[in-house]
Amino acid sequence: MTKIVTVIGARPQFIKAAPVSKAISDTEGLVEYLVHTGQHFDENMSQVFFNQMGIPKPDKQLNIHSMSHGAMTGRMTEEIEKILIKEQPDWVMVYGDTNSTLAGALAAAKLHIPVAHVEAGLRSFNMEMPEEINRILTDRISRLLFCPTLTAEENLKKEGFDKFPCHVFTTGDVMYDAALFFRGKATAPRGVSIPKHFVLATVHRQENTDNPENLHNILAALNEISSQIPVVFPVHPRTAKILEANPGMLSENVVTTSPLGYLEIIYLLEHCRMVLTDSGGLQKEAYIFHKPCITLRKETEWTELVELGCNMLAGSDISRIREAFSHFMVHKIKFTEGLYGKGNASAVIAEAFRDIK
């Protein structure tokens, strides 16, 4: 029996884990032990995803959150190490690029337990992003690298991973698996009236929420857009605190909600006109649901979406956001199928654990 300790802690990782955990449970000879670090810890950012998506109840909940990057990563590494010493797994699996990702990978590598990284090979080439540091370091100490795209695989080749003791697989994207599986279960958000026509906006990255000028510009752009079409804006807790302290920053045409579960986000993606976001995952989900996306960052790991023309980078520049919005309002975008695989990435990952010793 092959034992896998999976470390997750943030909203995107819950979404990615749902189809992979199911594939592991469906594969003979595999057993999973799930660790939730607590990086996203409140009901709307964490537990709702477990409830809606059928993710197995974590075997261990660490409740580590609300710390600096260094303190959080260090504390997580310490606690995950204790679990690994006790459980003695054959593999440690981590997802994406959060502090939880790096902590899980470091704890395993120090104990000489092989690491599997889901969503390996992504690069923004912006070393000021904590996520970029996390993903580069995690890739380097991983033995199984599951790339969601050919671009990600090519990034690893350029960095010399063909000379490292590891296995690189281009699996497709597990978020595509999740979207296909849960699409028919989408539900409208409760307690809020969703307009018939609207754009969906999210803002959560610290480079935007913690930079007053960036956040002011983005909110001003949302206000301007909302004069033409309503904006539905699920508000991240960091942004909510700023809005509470500065009433009047948003137009009445911007419909705010608390953070939403995956099934509500899927519903909004199905029904919106376009997406404005600084989220990496939502950029992909917009493509999956054939919705153009304005990315509120200067770069993206999902460069193929920009090349395809369904994603435009705008950062926090009001004029660029305005130009991208006007472009997508009048141009019909062609969505090429197959960028993120065939919807079977989770099964490929599970088989790799069974086949590689």
Residues 86-126 pLDDT 10s: 999 999 999 999 999 999 999 999 999 999 999 999 999 99
Same domain, yes or no, for 207 and 298?
yes
Same domain, yes or no, for 315 and 345?
no
Same domain, yes or no, for 72 and 144?
yes
Total structural domains within the chain: 2
* Position 231 pLDDT exceeds 60: yes
pLDDT of residue 261: 85
CATH number at residue 43: 3.40.50.2000
Same domain, yes or no, for 136 and 69?
yes
268 within 8 A of 189, measured Cβ to Cβ: yes
Same domain, yes or no, for 322 and 345?
no
Amino acid at 299: E
| Catalytic residue list | 204
Same domain, yes or no, for 37 and 119?
yes
Contacts of residue 60, defined as CB under 8 A and 6 or more positions apart, other chains included, come to 33, 34, 35, 36, 83
* Position 236 pLDDT exceeds 90: no
Neighbours of 342 (CB within 10 A): 14
Domain assignment present for residue 165? The answer is: yes
Same domain, yes or no, for 9 and 110?
yes
Q: Which residue has the higher pLDDT, 241 or 73?
A: 73
pLDDT of residue 47: 65
Q: Does an H or E element contain 167, and which?
A: strand 167-170
Q: Which domain holds residue 202?
A: 185-330
